[in-house]
């Protein structure tokens, strides 16, 4: 897994590539917590290059979303999610929990 | 439909019960699912189910990363893929595991409990056997879906 | 010339493709004026698919920038400008007048 | 450097003096600039200079789109491209045209006056001739730049 981040005026974009599984999810959690710890609750996860995400990764996303949405102070949104991952999100009832955007620019544009 | 009867193809590999093994296990099983000519999303879901099962073995059966192993076998016959995972960790009773909370309200969600649920959603058969001499045996079967026409 | 537009929370993106010359510049001017007329002064011009822009086009950009920047109410920024056009902008002293961004997402992210 | 002396290549085409002709004129001249083996940015700039000159002919010499024409010729010799534009519109005195305001302060800028300025920036020679029997003649020369080494 590789993580690249970009900070914009009203949100941060976290671009993950590779696998988000039990081995790598803690790394992603650390990066997301860095943002929420410093008060950045508007986050875009760019998933275009994610090959795989297991429930270990889903748990990180749920935990982060809980933190972001508390007090209506922000939200974590998901951008450019590959089709097989979309279907797996559906199994986990994820569609109701996150806003999905086809492109990162749309996600950034909502903040 | 033309019926082709093929010899079953089987393969077995043993991996250290560590999270770093998950990528290799997933590749091993994804290759099998591709060989069974499942579509892209089904290959992905089989990979996901096996990853969840192996993560559980490491985390719950072995109580964390250690010196144990996971033996992974598969068999492809006709249009059916069977994946068998064996470990020497603690047995458990799947019947006592509660359903996860799938609420649409994020604050009611607990992040956990999705693994077993997704395994059962994905696979056509899921069977745990803790009586075996070979240790704990999890057998999962996935059948190829045919589009209606 | 073709023009596609997308509206985001804090800006609009105008994506132009083809030639911006004396024949087509009025069309672009009309689209940009539509935005400034309705009070949208934060504009991103996505130039990735622009093949050519003459001084007729530059004049439209200058006029729009004047309108946008008045009273500090916004600005027109340029994204993904092809290299030959960049060099021509340089000739016209354009570099000081506009903010340039490599990618549209960065431009959207500054508003 | 090997010196190859080539026969000059020339071509002439006449276009209606309308803004819709600009794309075709630009293509005609860009092809010549490519034939002269200019790099991508130089091809673009030659195209830009010719577009500006033709826009001015339509707007200022003919006073708008009408029934006039623009005759465009080019000659490629050695590493030099000469473009000649002829029209039958009003002559003008280029000497009286003021330099454009290139201020970095946007509110001081007037949008116009950039065309002639960019033509002179881009081309190595720019010559207006309003005495010709053939009407107004604008001759522009662009030479290939060699990178220092
Ligand atoms: N292989 C296993 N060995 C022991 N316990 C297991 C095993 N698989 C699952 N469990 C039990 O079932 C529960 C639910 O598992 P799961 O749905 O994967 O979610 P999670 O691992 O996030 O708790 C676990 O918390 C654990 O108590
Ligand atoms: N071919 C032409 N015929 C007549 N007048 C011209 C011609 N080219 C340029 N001019 C004069 O020179 C001025 C500057 O031209 P230019 O730099 O292209 O800017 P613009 O066309 O935007 O005014 C014009 O406004 C016009 O008065």
pLDDT of residue C96: 94
B127 Cα–ligand 1 center, Å = 14
> Minimum-distance ligand to the CA of D95?
2
Chain B residues whose beta carbon lies within 8 Å of the beta carbon of residue A96 = 104
Q: Tens digits of per-residue pLDDT, B27-38?
A: 999 999 999 999
And the tokens for C111?
Answer: 């508003």
Interface test with A, best of C42, C79, C80, C105 (most A CBs within 10 A): C105
Tell me how far apart the alpha carbons of residues D62 and D69 are, in angstroms, rounded to a whole number. Answer: 9
D119 Cα–ligand 2 center, Å = 11
pLDDT of residue B111: 81
Tell me how far apart the alpha carbons of residues B129 and B107 are, in angstroms, rounded to a whole number. Answer: 36
A61 Cα–ligand 1 center, Å = 19
Interface test with B, best of A19, A23, A28, A71 (most B CBs within 10 A): A23
Q: Are D110 and D124 in contact (CB under 8 A)?
A: no
Evaluate: CB of D44 within 6 angstroms of ligand 2. Answer: no
Which chain A residue is nearest to residue B116, measuring alpha carbons?
A55
- Asked if C108 lies within 8 A of A109 by C-beta distance, the reply is yes
- Asked if D118 lies within 8 A of C93 by C-beta distance, the reply is no
* Helix H or strand E segment including A91: helix A83-91
And the tokens for B102?
Answer: 């799938």
ipTM: 0.85
- Asked if C55 lies within 8 A of D55 by C-beta distance, the reply is yes
Q: Are B43 and B30 in contact (CB under 8 A)?
A: yes
Chain C residues whose beta carbon lies within 8 Å of the beta carbon of residue D40 = 83-84
- Asked if B44 lies within 8 A of A87 by C-beta distance, the reply is yes
A21-36 exposure pattern, b = at least 16 Cβ within 10 A, e = fewer: bbbbbeebbebbeebb
Across B112-126, average pLDDT: 96
pLDDT of residue D149: 45
pLDDT of residue D1: 53
- D131 burial via Cβ count (<10 Å: 0-12, 13-18, 19+): exposed
The tens-digit pLDDT sequence of chain D (149 residues) is: 555 666 779 999 999 999 999 999 999 999 999 999 999 999 999 999 999 999 999 999 999 998 899 999 999 998 899 999 999 999 999 999 999 999 889 999 888 899 999 999 999 999 999 988 889 999 999 999 876 54
This model's pTM is above 0.90: no
Protein residues with CB under 6 Å of any ligand 1 atom: A 55; B 52, 56-57, 60-61, 90, 92, 97, 112-117
And the tokens for B29?
Answer: 């099983």
Interface A–C counts its CB contacts (< 8 A) at 37
Interface test with A, best of C10, C44, C108, C111 (most A CBs within 10 A): C108
Tell me how far apart the alpha carbons of residues D93 and D96 are, in angstroms, rounded to a whole number. Answer: 6
D93 Cα–ligand 2 center, Å = 10
Q: What is the dihedral of CA D13, D18, D20, D26, to 10 degrees?
A: 40
């Amino acid at each position: 897994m590789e993580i690249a981040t970009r900070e914009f005026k009203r949100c941060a974009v976290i671009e993950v590539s590779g696998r988000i599984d039990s081995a790598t999810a803690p790394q992603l959690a650390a990066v997301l917590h860095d943002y929420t710890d410093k008060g950045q609750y508007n986050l875009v996860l760019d998933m275009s290059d994610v090959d795989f995400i297991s429930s270990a990764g889903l748990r990180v996303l749920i935990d982060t979303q809980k933190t972001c949405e508390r007090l209506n102070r922000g939200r974590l949104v998901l951008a450019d999610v590959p089709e097989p991952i979309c279907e797996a999100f559906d199994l986990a009832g994820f569609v109701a929990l996150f806003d999905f955007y086809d492109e990162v620019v749309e996600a950034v544009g909502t903040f | 439909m033309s019926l082709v009867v093929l010899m079953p193809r089987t393969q077995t590999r043993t991996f250290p019960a560590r999270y770093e093994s998950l990528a290799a296990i997933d590749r091993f099983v994804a290759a099998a699912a591709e060989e069974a000519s499942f579509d892209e999303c089904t290959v992905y879901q089989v990979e996901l189910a096996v990853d969840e099962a192996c993560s559980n073995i490491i985390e719950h059966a072995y109580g964390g990363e250690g010196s144990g192993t996971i033996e992974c076998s598969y068999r492809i016959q006709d249009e059916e893929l069977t994946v068998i995972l064996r470990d020497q960790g603690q047995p458990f009773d799947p019947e006592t595991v509660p359903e996860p909370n799938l609420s649409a309200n994020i604050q009611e969600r607990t992040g956990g409990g999705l693994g077993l649920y997704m395994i059962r959603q994905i696979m056509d058969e899921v069977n745990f056997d803790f009586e075996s001499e070979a240790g704990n045996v999890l057998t999962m079967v996935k059948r190829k879906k045919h589009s209606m026409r």
